[in-house]
Amino acid sequence: MRLQNYFKDNIYANRGMTLESDINQTNEYYNLHNIALIYKKPTPIRVVQVEYPKNRIREAYFNEPSTLDYTGVYQGKYLEFDAKETQSKTSFPLSNIHKHQMEHIKKVLYYGGIVYLVVRFSALNRTYLLLGNDLLRFLEEYDRKSIPLDYFEKFGYFIEMKYAPRLDYIKVIDKIINVKECKKS
Amino acid sequence: MRLQNYFKDNIYANRGMTLESDINQTNEYYNLHNIALIYKKPTPIRVVQVEYPKNRIREAYFNEPSTLDYTGVYQGKYLEFDAKETQSKTSFPLSNIHKHQMEHIKKVLYYGGIVYLVVRFSALNRTYLLLGNDLLRFLEEYDRKSIPLDYFEKFGYFIEMKYAPRLDYIKVIDKIINVKECKKS
């Protein structure tokens, strides 16, 4: 039983890496092809004790993130997003997003930034981009602890897996920017 | 002599904190008054050893930063900058900016982001904003290890110290955005 759990956890862990490595590969592709500059922010760490003169950190703790993992610039615009995987076939648990991150999403939207989640339903091998606006609308309209797959199908953008770039999410961002610009003029 | 050095270093250290705390206070002001969302990125740390189950980091090292310290969003636009102090009364040493950071500045400019340095000449109590473009032009035109104060006076933007916000750098950004928008139309 324990061994089974061990393997189960390991498969989960590998799957957890997959979306992240797909995103990283995509960001590298964007960078190499002069499309966009997107990078992963460092993990916030609270340093308690440093050993000199080697500057070796001997005691530190991981802090809860208060922003999303990836930031970048595309056509002068501010982008920020997080990549999340779920093993569920039916819904995405909102416990994946910390309270501070939710507040941060609201703020980025307020200031006109483009903010979203890239959510992969690993068991279904389906990846969606869900815009911050649509995430917040869900929270306002429904008192639920998870977002059903239906909602992603209806309001999210399905992102096809390709060889390169693996997850061409900038295509979706392009659509959104065009809609915004059209509304302006 | 040693004691003198001690005090000297301490004053320097405090001054080193001053620009950062002025910037942090300014960013808080912007946040509170719904002007802009600017935040400091976590320091990049390479974690080597973690003690479970407490998730206590027992060995880690500071990495050289490859981006600038502050990022944010203002009117939908991507901002990124670093805050640097110098004790020199005549020039700003370029050794303050790492090679990777310089590459990063070029990239942010390429993608249409707004990138700059906020440089304080502490001994003169003068703070300037220098746009990435003007920084790169200096590097191209001059083969020097520091940027003279003159250059800041000519091509930088002087930022007045106030009570709140302490360093109203968004005023400068406003000018730049307006110039850009005018050129477009």
Amino acid found at B81: F
Among A137, A130, A45, residue whose Cα is nearest residue A81: A130
Instruction: Spell out, as residue ranges, where chain A has pLDDT lower than 70.
Output: 1-17, 180-185
What letter represents residue A63's amino acid? N
| Chain B residues bordering chain A (beta-carbon distance below 8 Å) | 31, 34, 36-37, 39, 41-45, 47, 55-63, 67, 71-80, 107-108, 110-114
Q: Which residue of A9, A52, A57 is the best one to mutate when testing the B interface, meaning the one whose CB has the most B CBs within 10 A?
A: A57
Residues of B in contact with A78 (CB under 8 A): 72-73, 76-79
* Closest residue by Cα to residue B105 from B67, B138, B147: B67
pLDDT band for position B119 (50/70/90)?
very high
B70 burial class (0-12, 13-18, 19+ CB within 10 angstroms)? buried
pLDDT tens digit sequence for B147-181? 999 999 999 999 999 999 999 999 999 998 887 66
CB A149 within 8 A of CB A121: yes
Quote the minimal CA–CA distance from B90 to chain A in Å: 31
- A149: tokens are 């797959």
Q: In the structure, what pLDDT confidence band is assigned to residue B33 with cuts at 50, 70 and 90?
A: very high
A34 vs B contacts (CB less than 8 Å): 110
Distance, in Å, from the CA atom of A152 to the CA atom of A119, rounded to the nearest integer, reads 9
Six token digits for residue A83 = 């990549």
CB contact under 8 A, A108 and B45: no
Provide the percentage of residues in chain B whose pLDDT is more than 70: 88
CB-CB under 8 Å, B78 with A72: yes
pLDDT score at A17:
53
B71: helix, coil or strand? strand
| pLDDT one-digit tens code per residue, A110-148 | 999 999 999 999 999 999 999 999 999 999 999 899 999
Burial classification of residue B169, based on how many CB atoms lie within 10 Å of its CB (0-12 exposed, 13-18 middle, 19 or more buried): buried
